[in-house]
Structure 1
Amino acid sequence: MSEKDHWEHEFDHKWANDAEHKEPSARARMLAARWKHNPPEPVPFRGDPDPVRPRRSGWISTAVVLGCVVAVIVLLGYINFRAPY
């Protein structure tokens, strides 16, 4: 018997997948036993844990970004104006 035949004989996945009864995992058995006596309460889908504060206006952040860009342009222009060629 070659090594490949031995491997296929030892781990026959098709036979294992076609089994009539599949045992649940240990975690699934543990949760089933726990929930049998104490079922979990319903939880909303992606429920927020705490309320969200209203966001500030988008104009403030836009003005800050544009102000920084203008400041960098002015600073670079001033440096190039003073630099001798």
Structure 2
Amino acid sequence: MTETDRQLDQRLERAIVGLLERRAATSSICPSDAARHAYDGDDAGWRALMEPARRAAWRLAAEGRVEVTQGGERVAEEEAHGPLRIRRAAGW
């Protein structure tokens, strides 16, 4: 992993945490929210950050900081498919 990759990972993790901090405790975000927040451009280039944003969410979930959900229910990474949401974990 290059320094640029690490910087992107950290930027996406900070975006997820920052977005959740600014929302109600019961609210969730989409990985696209973090991708858009972390993207530096004005065009649709944020879409290239979707998979890195999802990976950032899974890393934060593994640390117990967030929960990844589908249909309002917590989901494990190996079971997830389709649209995801990210919310604060218990004890945030």
More helix by share: 1
Q: Taking CA–CA contacts closer than 8 Å with sequence separation of 6 or more, which of the two structures ends up with the larger relative contact order? A: 2
State if a TM-score over 0.5 links the two structures: no
TM-score w.r.t. the length of structure 1 is 0.23
TM-score w.r.t. the length of structure 2 is 0.21
Larger radius of gyration: 1
More strand by share: 2
